[in-house]
Structure 1
Amino acid sequence: MFDLHRLRLLRELKHRGTLAAVAAALSYSPSSVSQQLSQLESEVGVALLEPVGRRVRLTPQAEILVAHTEAVLERLERAEADIATSLSDLTGTLRLATFQTAALALVPSALSLLRDLHPGLRIHVTQLEPEHALPALQARDFDLVIAEEYPGNPNPRPAELEQEDLLQDPLRLALPGPAGDADGPTAALRSLADHPWVMEPEGTAARHWAMTLCRNAGFEPDVRFETTDLLLHLRLVERGHAAALLPDLVWSGAPPTVPLRQLPRGQRARRIFTAVRRGRSRHPAIRGCREALRRATAEVGGPTGP
């Protein structure tokens, strides 16, 4: 029978990419990880790694082993959930990763609810963009992730993860001055073709969506400010320095502080969802946190705009 610990190291290598990353994540030395994987190769009787330049990659036989390891770990996740469900008190630590606007608008209220309902449960929260949080969830760095998906930019849906919708968060054009007389959403965008813009950095899903939106309106935006901090986006709009595309959650239910305009149809909301590893959704800590987030969502009403 193959050693589960070594199989998990092989799985970690698939998700983290390098022996050094596996070693750093698990507090091992790279030589120790390499030795354990060599022993696994001896157990299996076939090569599991092959050199590619200065790195290594998994062989087809290693990929088969990782797929079976995922199934074993999913079953163990279910076992852990069943044990936790059998207990009267909910304890332990739940590791939550979330992006900024959800962290500000939803997480504090959810934490208050969880503190009242499950005082023995410890919640560890990390602010991390979905592009990094979802792979880290697969790598077992987190137990639950709050993530976002922009219109026309669907996220990959790995078989190892289970997703559950939380809300549709409206997206609007935020004007750096009084609302003009543009006739319709596309014209409103086009009216800002010569104005500076603030957007999220290159490589993010939000930036790709925003650039596509502007290009479909017929112009290339003059992006002078780049940051993942949407509160800075808002501040720049408030001071008249930039136009922006802002989600309603940025106001956390308070009245908007800048003029807003609707976006073209099909581009008016981002999907916000929670994700867990397959087999873990039945864990009472996951169920409790998801329920608290749903209740926090119900408490937040987005701003209204034209």
Structure 2
Amino acid sequence: MFELRRLRLLHEFALRGTVAEVARSLSYSPSTVSQQLALLEREAGVPLLEPDGRRIRLTAEGRLLAEHAARALELDEQARQSLAQAPAETIRISAMPTAAETIVPAALTALATTHPQLRVEMTESPPEEGLFELTARRFDLVIAEQYPGHTRERREGTEHELVGEDPIRLALPPGRSPVPLGALQDRAWVLEPVGSAARQWAVQQCRAAGFEPDVRFEAADLTAHVRLIEAGHAVGMLPDLIWGDTPAPVVLAELPGSPVRQVFTAVRAGTRASEGVAAVRAALVEAFAPSRRPR
């Protein structure tokens, strides 16, 4: 009989690729992880790991057992959900920054009335990180987004549900008249870091308008974008959700095609029946609606 704790270590190794990363994620020492994987290999009776230069990798048998480990962890989660007492349930959320600053506080206010015994823990993190850690079971629910033509990977064993659509607009310094995107080719831009979906999408919009953006400022925090634009140092593209219930301090102009990004929640299939997860999802949808008022 395989021990579930060791199967989780194998699952984590399949996701993260190194013993050091598994140890860091689960707060173990690397030697403990290596020892437990060696014990699992002994239980399996076949090699699960093999040398790969100076590192190690899963064998074919190791990959096969890792797939079974993922299913075993999902079944364990479903069983725990069936036996859990809802009032004591804890939901761990990963929220992208704009959601963490706007809809999450409003959703928590609603949940304090409808589900006062529900404990919600939130970590602000980029969608890319949150969705990965959802699979690794660090989070139970992730609030993320996807841009037109740039859909997110749907990892096996996870489910996505739309929260709402969030318009994206050009953001110009105060006092400027709204202008089309193509008229901003000589301006300095502030965009999110390279590798993010938002950065990739924004650059593609500029290229479609006939120019390569002069990205002088790069920041993951959209509040920094707002401050730089408000001070007249840059232009950018910002989603409406960032303003919450306050007026925008910058000039907003329409982008070609009036694009919207989709804000969604992602959960593991094993937790979709959880009363707490369902309550949090419903509260987020309800909190999102008022932020969609006309600008």
TM-score bin, normalised by smaller chain: over 0.9
Q: 1:164 to 1:181 in 2, by over 3 A?
A: closer
Match of 2:133 in 1: 136
Match of 1:287 in 2: 278
Q: 2:166 aligns with which of 152, 169, 184?
A: 169
Match of 1:220 in 2: 212
Report the number of matched residues: 295
- Tell me the C-alpha RMSD between the 2 structures: 1.7
Deviation at 1:104, TM superposition (A): 1.1
SS in 2 for 1:141: coil
Q: Deviations over 1:215-240 (max 9, x none)?
A: 11110111111101111211222222
The CA distance in 1 between the partners of 2:233 and 2:28, in whole Å, is: 49
2:111 is aligned with 1:114:
yes
Deviation at 1:264, TM superposition (A): 1.7
Deviation at 1:180, TM superposition (A): 4.3
Between 6-15 and 112-121, report the one with greater CA deviation.
Answer: 112-121
Q: How does 1:183-222 map to 2 (within 5 A)?
A: 188-222=180-214
The CA distance in 1 between the partners of 2:172 and 2:151, in whole Å, is: 27
Q: 1:177 to 1:115 in 2, by over 3 A?
A: closer
**Aligned partners of 1:110 and 1:296 also within 8 Å:** yes
**Aligned partners of 2:178 and 2:251 also within 8 Å:** no
Q: 1:127 to 1:181 in 2, by over 3 A?
A: closer
The CA distance in 1 between the partners of 2:269 and 2:263, in whole Å, is: 19
Q: 1:238 aligns with which of 230, 246, 269?
A: 230
Match of 2:4 in 1: 4
Q: Deviations over 1:221-261 (max 9, x none)?
A: 11111101111211222222111101000111333332222
* Residue identity matched to 2:138: D
The CA distance in 2 between the partners of 1:28 and 1:180, in whole Å, is: 56
Deviation at 1:303, TM superposition (A): 4.2
Deviation at 1:80, TM superposition (A): 2.0
Match of 1:75 in 2: 75
Q: 1:264 to 1:127 in 2, by over 3 A?
A: same
**Aligned partners of 1:150 and 1:205 also within 8 Å:** yes
Deviation at 1:213, TM superposition (A): 0.8
* Residue identity matched to 1:27: S
TM-score (norm 1): 0.91
* Residue identity matched to 1:231: T
Unmatched runs of 5 consecutive residues or more in structure 1: 183-187
Match of 2:48 in 1: 48
2:21 is aligned with 1:30:
no
Q: 1:268 aligns with which of 244, 259, 271?
A: 259
The CA distance in 1 between the partners of 2:40 and 2:79, in whole Å, is: 25
The CA distance in 1 between the partners of 2:11 and 2:178, in whole Å, is: 57
Q: Deviations over 1:174-200 (max 9, x none)?
A: 122545475xxxxx1110100111100
Match of 1:92 in 2: 89
Q: 1:278 aligns with which of 255, 264, 269?
A: 269
TM-score (norm 2): 0.94
The CA distance in 2 between the partners of 1:177 and 1:278, in whole Å, is: 46
SS in 2 for 1:191: helix
SS in 2 for 1:256: coil
The CA distance in 1 between the partners of 2:239 and 2:32, in whole Å, is: 47
Match of 1:185 in 2: none
SS in 2 for 1:279: helix
Match of 2:245 in 1: 253
The CA distance in 2 between the partners of 1:32 and 1:241, in whole Å, is: 51
**Aligned partners of 1:164 and 1:274 also within 8 Å:** yes
**Aligned partners of 2:178 and 2:252 also within 8 Å:** no
**Aligned partners of 2:103 and 2:284 also within 8 Å:** yes
